[in-house]
Amino acid sequence: MSKKIIRIQNVTKLYRMGNEVIRAVNGLDLDIYQGEVCCLFGKSGSGKSTLLNLIAGLEKPTKGEIIFHNHHIERMNENQLADFRQKYVGFVFQSYNLLPTLTAAENVMLPLIFKNVPVKERHERALKMLKAVGLEGRANHKPSEMSGGQQQRVSIARAFINRPQVVFADEPTGNLDTKTTYEMMDLITGLAKENHQTLVIVSHDMELSEYAHRIVVMMDGKIKSIEQKTMDENTGKDGGEEV
């Protein structure tokens, strides 16, 4: 097994709603390994999105430690978290989260603008990335001029353009049909494999499990089960049954 990239230790996230306290994540421990495709499954409300947001530095835990390499995410202030996200992580969301007034190429190059990459290089890298996701002819299209699958391809290009160490995806295929779902999963896992990047994918759709190296099932803010599938070093895919 490869080395641990993220350690989640006794993490709790509480939400207060009036007099009620919701334990969205409840004293959870989990390690994420470099280069793995880790799928987080569970019913709606089981705490998957909350856990993902905590690991990705989008939200702060109420209690516990989240250690990325040697960086304690739970100790970072907002500026440090923003730097951390820019440097190390990419995101893919169910609703794509593209900026509607920008073209596909402009959306893809956004992470490079924050990193002060020169204009010419930004354009070149965005076009290259769009090509990699199969959208060569769509660089100047706005999100409203593209299908859902195409918009998700743009968001995948944006997530990967900085070569982040970890890409987090929250229900990335939730709005897509079955055929497009498989295309998107092939694309995400293929890109991640090229650069030995780590993928953490949240879904309630068990169909995605065939892409997972490890399946973590959540229930009531806790881990219900973890299934380690064999990881083929050569293909990066599940080794499956051997004859």
Q: How many CA atoms lie within 13 A of 183 on its CB side?
A: 14
Residue 49 or 150: which CB sits closer to Mg ion? 49
Contact flag: residue 103 with Mg ion (CB under 5 A): no
Residue 22 or 139: which CB sits closer to ligand ADP? 22
Query: Contact, 190 vs 215, CB < 8 A?
Result: no
Query: Contact, 36 vs 227, CB < 8 A?
Result: no
Residue from 6, 37, 49, 216 that binds ligand ADP (CB under 6 A)? 49
Q: Taking CB within 5 to 8 Å according to partner kind, which of Mg ion, ligand ADP, none is near residue 17?
A: ligand ADP
Q: Taking CB within 5 to 8 Å according to partner kind, which of Mg ion, ligand ADP, none is near residue 94?
A: none
* Distance, C-alpha 116 to centroid of its chain: 23
Contact flag: residue 42 with ligand ADP (CB under 6 A): yes
User: How wide is the angle at C-alpha 28 spanned by C-alphas 74 and 68, nearest 5°?
Assistant: 40
What is the contact mask toward Mg ion in residues 49 to 68, using x (rule: CB under 5 A)?
Answer: x-------------------
Contact flag: residue 55 with ligand ADP (CB under 6 A): no
Interacting positions 1-30 with ligand ADP (CB under 6 A): 15, 17, 22, 24
Sheet holding 71-72, edge to edge: 20-33, 4-17, 63-68, 71-72
For the record, the structure tokens of 60 come out as 């702060």
* Rounded Cα gap, residues 166 and 130, in angstroms: 20
Residue 243: what residue type? V
Contact flag: residue 46 with ligand ADP (CB under 6 A): yes
CB of 171 to Mg ion, least distance (A): 6
Interacting positions 32-51 with Mg ion (CB under 5 A): 49
Q: What is the DSSP letter of 103?
A: -
Give the footprint of ligand ADP on this chain (CB under 6 A): 15, 17, 22, 24, 42, 44-50
